[in-house]
Amino acid sequence: MKERTGLITFQGMPLTLVGGGLSAGDKAPDFSLLDNDLGEVTLSSFKGKVCLLVTVPSLDTPVCDMETRRFNEEASALGPDVAVLGISMDLPFAQKRWCGAAGIEQVKTLSDHRDASFGEAYGVLVKELRLLARAVFVVDQEGTLRYEELVGEMVNEPDYEAALSAAQKLVNG
């Protein structure tokens, strides 16, 4: 599997990403993730919707908590034609507990813990930590990647406005 360096850091420490990177215009790789009840969820199950894929290292950390809450608040304004998926390596049970405690209802949390196939396919699996890098991908109704942001420093938040705008533009045509 391809490894990439020099793209992200954690508190200034350089990290290695496993998997090739994606760019706007690429076909978004399908994936198989687990929902909070251990059900399988794939990208193809959202065909016809705009998907905002938000990857975080762990929901149990302050920045990931804040980020997921922010996307949860913004999700309802995007409307029913946008699916907001929060993806991490957290176990589904931990995601379910966290969502219940945080009142998360608009973001569907999904776990890549089983085989890290999402992380590898999207190029956001952090080799040293076996966590996902902080990133945002927007996939259009036909499964094409239209926006991507890999956050360079893992403790920083993404550009919310740019990601939300990219999703909204796809809904509005």
Catalytic, out of 52, 54, 59, 64: 64
**Contact, 153 vs 9, CB < 8 A?**
yes
Question: Which residue type sits at 85?
Answer: L
Say whether 99 is catalytic. no
What is the C-alpha separation between 147 and 51, in angstroms, rounded? 11
- Phi, psi dihedrals of residue 87, rounded to the nearest 5°: -120, 130
What is the C-alpha separation between 28 and 17, in angstroms, rounded? 18
**Contact, 168 vs 160, CB < 8 A?**
no
Active site members: 64
